[in-house]
Amino acid sequence: MRLLVVEDDKDLNRQIVTALENAGYAVDKAFDGEEGLYLGETEPYDAVILDLGLPKVDGVSVLQGWRRAGKTMPVLILTARDRWSDKVGGFDAGADDYVTKPFHVEELLARVRALLRRAAGHATSELVCGPVRLDTRASRVVVDGNPVKLTSHEYRLLAYLMHHQGRVVSRTELVEHLYDQDFDRDSNTIEVFVGRLRKKLGVEVIETVRGLGYIAAAPEKV
Ligand code: CA
């Protein structure tokens, strides 16, 4: 899952980005409304964390700009405590949720997880595909009850496929949603990661759809 953080407070931006990266997401960052607006319009994010008080272009205008451009990714806004009108303005502009400053980063993470799973149509934070269970809260994967240790890239890949279970995901889409902007992207590495992931999981839950991409599906019972 790839996220964007738009926050002009450098320390807070770093704090949020670090927490999200530690939770297994690929994260891009912007420090003003103009940069944020541009990134949100041009890059495919799974969710965005958007501060409302931003230099150059304010957060509500950024959000309106994205929605006008047809961008439907979930957006969580960051608002000041005493500014209830900001929340109203934010929701009217197309926000999906908000967190009031100052906040505990754990709350932000929980809200982001909820936005991501709702966007993908899942009701709980645990994703299940046949014998594979992926706990998005703890970033843990279990196969037939046994924990499997994955690298952050392998985890991201599996989490993305399992969020979109039953749908073919192209290699291009994976590259766009698994790596941040600064990463040296190469779609060939996806094949390598899929290979490693299959080996570690030891069960057939990732199928290759020739010429199209990959699909996560529960193995058929024999
Ligand atoms: Ca601000």
CATH 3.40.50.2300 residue window(s) in the chain: 2-119
* Ramachandran class of 56: left when φ > 0, alpha when ψ lies in -120 to 50, beta otherwise: left
* Residues 159 and 134: beta-carbon distance below 8 Å: yes
Q: Take residue 186 and report the two structure tokens written for it.
A: 């190469």
The set of residues, in sequence order, having a beta carbon less than 8 Å from that of 17 and lying 6+ positions away, is: 5, 27, 29
The Cα-based distances of 61 to 51, 106, 119, 126 in angstroms read 11, 27, 23, 35
Residue linked to tokens 């999200």? 20
Query: What's the 42 CA to ligand 1 centre distance in angstroms?
Result: 22
Q: Number of helices (H) and strands (E) in the chain: give both, helices first.
A: 8, 11
**137 CA to centre of ligand 1 in angstroms:** 28
Mean pLDDT in residue range 157-171: 95
User: How is domain 126-216 classified at the architecture level of CATH?
Assistant: Orthogonal Bundle (1.10)
Q: What is the pLDDT of residues 149-161, one digit of tens each?
A: 999 999 999 999 9
What pLDDT is recorded for position 91? Answer: 93
Among the listed residues 162, 161, 163, 181, the one whose alpha carbon sits nearest the alpha carbon of residue 171: 161
Distance CA 105, CA 112 (A): 11
CA 182–ligand 1 middle distance (angstroms): 24
Q: Would you state the structure tokens that stand for residue 188, as one six-digit string?
A: 């060939």
**Distance from the alpha carbon of residue 49 to the mean position of ligand 1, in angstroms:** 12
217 falls in which pLDDT band (50, 70, 90)? very high
User: What would the mean pLDDT of 186-201 be, rounded to a whole number?
Assistant: 90
Domain with CATH 1.10.10.10 in the chain: 126-216
Mean pLDDT of the region 205-216: 95
Contact 189, 151 (CB under 8 A): no
Tokens 């690298």, residue located: 151
CATH superfamily for domain 2-119: Response regulator (3.40.50.2300)
pLDDT per residue as tens digits for the range 70-98:
999 999 999 987 778 888 999 999 999 99
Cα 37 to middle of ligand 1, angstroms: 15
**Banded model confidence at residue 185, pLDDT cuts 50, 70, 90:** confident
Q: Which of 6-20, 105-119, 183-197 has the lowest average pLDDT?
A: 183-197
